[in-house]
Amino acid sequence: MGNRPPQALDVEEAVIGALLIEPSCVDDSVEELTPSSFYSEKHRMIFQAIVSLVNEHSSVDLLTVSQRLRDQGNLEIVGGAQTLAAMTQKVGAAAHIEYYIKILKQKCIQRELITASYDILKNSYDESVNVDQLIDMAQTKIFAAIQNNVKKDVQEIGSVINQAISDIERLQDSTGLSGVPSGFPSLDRITFGWQPSDLIIVAARPSVGKTAFVVNVARNAAVDHHMPVAFFSLEMPAIQLAKRMMVSETGLSADKIKGGTKLERFEWVQLEEKLKDLAKAPLYIDDTPSLPVMEFRSKVKRLVNQKGVRLVIVDYLQLMQGPAELKGMREQEVASISRTLKATAKEMNVPIIALSQLSRDAVKRQGGNNRPQLSDLRESGSIEQDADMVLFIHRYDYQGLNEDASEIGKTDLIIAKHRNGEIGDVPLMFRSSEVRFVDMEETISAQSFMPVSSIMNDGPSDPFAGVPSSSNSEFTNPEF
């Protein structure tokens, strides 16, 4: 008995009996259940016959189901018409059908999890199976077992309207943004913040500042607005990412933060003072390389449930691993990754920002037609299709289009796709010494970050005087 798969044969008979005598039960049952919801093979045959009648818009009752089974050659296999008639006697009340369906779905999930566990166990003993593939397979099977038996109910427009009104009321008492603030006012006026369930793609040529931009976004949400953020850094170790944030936060040079140049005492004070808020921020970094997309999905779910994460960032999409069966089929693999990112954003109701590479043609294109465009997204057209918003970072000085030294760093954040709003350009300025972007509306001045020393009179007025800048600095011109 202990080794028998979870089942409820009496409940299966009660459900079938209810379907045979109560037409009002049929539609809901066919929508909620599948043949695999039944443990008994005979019960599966009967339910499949009922489904075939429903698909043909035929009536479902004892006579029609018996005839359909007879036509299929299965009537005697299931025990004959008398067996069907006996099932109708086991129905306590049609009103209990929802409870019965819930029981069958629970038993089905248990059976599918057991089957998945056996498959995982068998493959775990197989020395020829790659561990990463094994993990991916295990996560896929377990997730599928759960998802296949979970359906979201439709909602009446009245309840949805009430939710919308509550949202509007909440916004009246807040920043006026319905999503997570980006920290760039000009952008937020268009987007109203990063919206829950949206997939946002940020793309640019190499070394333009993709990582710097999303690091700014993560910092703005976590530090300024105390919103939990998950940052999946597939390309850069967590310690290196933290150092980049420290450069932006403290105003100290990249060489100082990297440790190549000794810090003065007043600079240590500046470092400690400026990093207090950053150190306490609800920012969670995962630097797992080549992260399988299903593992990403599991981690996001855990972070949302346990840490209340409101924003997820991926750096970058093409470094994730898709399903093992798509290895070697790069476009299909990237398409699968893109779909999973969107599905995760929708399921967990959080915005996901994913960086993406541009195609080689876009990188090579020069002259007046060098602005990135949607067709430049690398390796898969599905990225554009799945994304709710596509942003391109276009720096003028990177392409040598602007030789005016006073405008070095001028950047257009191009909103090339916006499913629920306007498209257009948002003007930004890239401050390479601080590895950060600022809104053009902000006052741009060299004194934006006043050194602590100038306030404390405990050191030179210019703490960076005499510190050579390194042209090879990963912070000055990072490989983004």
Active site residues: 235
Cα gap 12→46, rounded to integer Å: 11
Kindly report the backbone phi and psi dihedral angles of residue 435, in degrees, each rounded to the nearest multiple of 5, phi listed first.
50, 50
| 3-state SS, residue 392 | strand
Question: Whose CA is closest to 416, among 393, 437, 382?
Answer: 393
Which two three-digit tokens encode residue 3? 């080794």
What's the order of all strands across the beta sheet hosting 389-395?
A: 283-286, 229-233, 311-315, 352-356, 199-203, 389-395, 410-418, 424-431, 436-439
| Cα distance between residue 172 and residue 174, in whole Å | 6
Cα dist. 242→167, 219, 233, 273, 321 in Å? 35, 11, 11, 16, 24
The CB density around residue 426, as the number of other CB atoms within 10 Å, is 21
Q: Are 164 and 170 in contact (CB under 8 A)?
A: no
- How buried is 204 (Cβ within 10 angstroms: 0-12 exposed, 13-18 middle, 19+ buried)? buried
Question: Rounded to whole angstroms, how far apart are CA atoms 5 and 17?
Answer: 23
The answer to whether residues 46 and 78 touch, using CB atoms and an 8 Å cutoff, is yes
Torsion angle defined by CA atoms of residues 77, 81, 82 and 84, in that order, rounded to the nearest 10 degrees: 90
If 0-12 CB within 10 Å is exposed, 13-18 middle and 19+ buried, where does residue 32 land? middle
Q: Which of 286, 310, 293 has its CA nearest to residue 386?
A: 293
- Rounded CA gap, 295 and 326, in Å? 16
Alpha-carbon distance of 63 to 77, in angstroms, equals 17
Q: In this structure, are residues 28 and 153 in contact, taking their beta carbons and an 8 Å threshold?
A: no
412 vs 402: CA distance, rounded Å: 13
Q: Residues, the chain, total?
A: 480
Place of tokens 């409940």: 11
Cis peptide before 316 (omega within 30 of 0): yes
Furthest CA-CA distance within the chain: 98
